[in-house]
């Protein structure tokens, strides 16, 4: 059974899908079951450039940066997207990125405790939580 907002990846073609509505079935791509992608966090090696960092702005908004040292955004190594998810998992915001962009996301307002996750084209999915 899938759960809302889980991510699955095809080990053959690299497709990455996020579950919008839960279901009983198995996700399949290229004729094989897809693999559930688990986010790495502050306990994993490489955290200084991958774990999302949160900063509350003066206007009450929230800035999410990828890494305490900003992640590189080169053609061969970059953050593909940043996603924020509210604590109740009822609100999600997704921002796609490409090489040359800053690995940041700005939200107009903080939605209570927030989880952010980002996907590095080389190192996969990473997660962090606001205070």
Q: Enumerate the domain spans of the chain.
A: 7-37, 47-129
DSSP bridge partners of 29 = 32
43 phi-psi bin (left φ>0, alpha ψ -120 to 50, beta other)? alpha
What is the value of pTM for the model shown? Answer: 0.90
CB 28 within 8 A of CB 34: yes
What integer pLDDT is reported at residue 41 of this predicted model?
81
Of residues 26 and 112, the one with the higher pLDDT is 26
Domain 7-37 class?
mainly beta
Q: What class does CATH assign to 47-129?
A: mainly beta
pLDDT of residue 24: 94
In percent, the amount of the chain with pLDDT more than 70 equals 97
Reported as a pLDDT band with limits 50, 70 and 90, residue 43 is: confident
Mean per-residue pLDDT for 121-125? 94
So what's the pLDDT on residue 46? 64
Query: How far apart (Å, rounded) are the C-alpha atoms in residues 97 and 121?
Result: 11
Torsion sign, CA atoms 9, 36, 43, 96 = positive
């Amino acid at each position: 059974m899938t759960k809302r907002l889980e991510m699955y990846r095809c080990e053959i073609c690299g497709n990455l899908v996020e579950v919008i509505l839960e279901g009983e079935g198995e996700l399949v791509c290229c004729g094989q079951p897809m693999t559930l992608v688990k986010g790495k966090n502050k306990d994993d090696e490489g955290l200084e450039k991958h774990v999302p960092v949160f900063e509350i702005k003066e206007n009450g908004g929230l800035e999410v940066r990828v890494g305490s040292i900003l992640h590189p955004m080169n053609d061969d190594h970059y953050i593909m997207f940043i996603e924020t998810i509210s604590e109740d998992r009822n609100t999600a915001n997704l921002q796609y990125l490409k090489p040359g962009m800053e690995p940041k996301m700005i939200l107009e307002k903080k939605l209570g405790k927030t989880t952010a996750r980002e996907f590095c084209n080389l190192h996969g999915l990473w997660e962090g939580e606001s205070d």
